[in-house]
Amino acid sequence: MRKIGDVVIVAPDGPQSGMGHAITIGDTLRLDKSLIFPDLESYECSGTPADCVKIAKHHVLRDRKPDIVVSGINHGSNSSISVLYSGTMSAAIEAAIEGLPAIGFSLCDYGHDIDFSHTEKYVEMITRQALEFGIPHGVALNVNFPKKSDKPIAGIRVCRQARAKWEEEFDERQDPMGRSYFWLTGKFVNFDKGADTDEAALAQNYVSVVPCQFDMTASHAIVQLNNEWNLNPEVKPTEGSKTIESGHEEG
């Protein structure tokens, strides 16, 4: 970002993976100058990634409007269903809610000591294009990079989110005092065989770009609910509908 413009950093003061779009309501929120980037205006916040965007816009930059908000680059994938759990992407989506162009960057590698170098030119390229051509209002871009390999990145694809989920298990263990605790484990399962998804792009060594929005309305379900449900008691149920009361069902 230094190559592109003036950078102001507001970031969490600790790991926030899996925080989603949580915000701090019933607790104090602290903001301190950070010494990690001594040559930049930088702050560390005790809150969540979404908190960081809120306090940046309304306090740190209250007299200035940023041209773009960039979140990440995240350590680990935020493709497909992971976008819902991601603190990185929630920061970008919070910026979109505030009417600011925003991008979340993530690298699909959870290794302890990973190499981000192959992402740099693409981060700059995508950010510059967003500044030049704009991002649709209310949209945040979810950009994921494949893990570094011997093969060069094949290119960039604008995709849709794959229909996938985590099949989760809670591994029960015992602490040294003999008390039980649980550790969330599981595996990622992709049900989507489409060639136009983020998972398909990443599998072919492409950078995936998914436009995301905060409006989660399932518009296609509105017609079904209005047509098939009897939500107004004064309206007679349509033929074939069922009424269930106190465990008794009548056709």
- Binding residue numbers for a divalent metal cation: 17, 74
DSSP track, 114-166? ---GGGHHHHHHHHHHHHHH---TTEEEEEEEPPP-SSPP-EEEE-B---EEE
Q: Which residue has the tokens 């072919």?
A: 204
Binding site per annotation, positions: 17, 74
Burial class (CB in 10 A: 0-12, 13-18, 19+), 69: buried
Distance between CA atoms of residues 141 and 93, nearest Å: 9
| Closest to 187 (Cα-Cα) out of 212, 206, 167, 172 | 167
